[in-house]
Homo-oligomer: A and B are copies of this chain.
């Protein structure tokens, strides 16, 4: 069945039904007063700072349907927004989803996409409370996410101090390696293929880790979407500090090393889309986070005083240069 056969009301009803099936005892649903179907959604807020973010995925800009499954598209559209809440150390609560779809889209595919979103929203206690549906010549999924601080503090980009250690959660380079594998149709063994695909299509927003950081006294974090160097550079400019990374300390995933050899470090440094958290704090606080986190936490360098910018050092202490500083739009 095509969405054109279902019509707009039919499509909205279908989406409301899919999302309604995820209603639960989690606080976001319990505090919701009006969900999908009125002019706006309405809820009772908590007592902490409220947070909001928005991100869009556009067909042939951020993804291609040549190798993207609909469920993965839903997951990723939600994940990139959850990752921004994670990078504030917040708790996600409510999502608005605006979906623009070609008229010949299969209703079954729309269903799969929303189920992909729900896999993540269920896990993190998020209620989808509204949205918008449009016909369009391409697929465009916009998610806006509302959350709240998990405590008295949030993790900003602007609180890094000279002397802070720089650390990252998880491993880097897998998402960019996955993109290279898919777009260049490279063949690797099944284990590597599975790992790289999962990293690219199903990033895990580091929500528990962001909340742990707030609890342990971390003040500065960003999620790695544009690439390690570019995102660290954002922290440097916002905090008016300099940063030094020891290349040998960067946790490059072993699958990326196996598959891409000498290019692995560059994929980890500037590939982006890993959606791991990059944070800075005094050494003892980083160590507390490292000990308590469910994912690996690795110290990769330190914040210094000086002009905002990132220096990468090789094992001998010499500077290393990486061609492209990360993903950006609007390059002609």
Contact = CB atoms under 8 A, between A and B. Distances in A.
Nearest to A86: B39
Given A50-B43, A132-B56, A142-B56, A7 B330 contact: yes
A311 interface: no
A133 B147 CA distance: 21
Interface residues of A, number: 76
Nearest to A101: B330
Interface of A: 2-9, 11, 33-34, 37-45, 49-56, 58, 60-62, 84-85, 87-88, 90, 94, 96-98, 100-101, 103-104, 129-138, 140, 142, 144-147, 149, 154-158, 221-223, 238, 328-332
Task: Count copies of this chain in the complex.
Answer: 2
A94 to B, nearest CB: 6
A37 B237 CA distance: 11
Contact of A136 (B61, B88, B135): B61
A7 to B, nearest CB: 6
Contact of A38 (B97, B149, B156): B156
A154 B40 CA distance: 10
Contact of A53 (B58, B130, B157, B223): B130
Contacts of A132: 54-56, 142
B331 A100 contact: no
B330 A4 contact: yes
Nearest to A226: B8
B222 A96 contact: no
B56 A134 contact: yes
Contacts of A332: 2, 4-5, 103-104
Of all A-B residue pairs in the complex, the 7 with the closest CB atoms, nearest first, are: A4-B332, A144-B144, A39-B87, A40-B53, A45-B45, A135-B329, A54-B96
A17 to B, nearest CB: 15
29 contacts: A3-B330, A4-B330, A4-B332, A7-B331, A38-B158, A39-B84, A39-B157, A39-B221, A40-B84, A41-B52, A41-B53, A42-B88, A43-B49, A43-B52, A52-B96, A52-B130, A53-B130, A54-B97, A54-B144, A56-B98, A56-B140, A58-B134, A96-B144, A103-B331, A104-B332, A133-B329, A135-B329, A140-B140, A144-B144
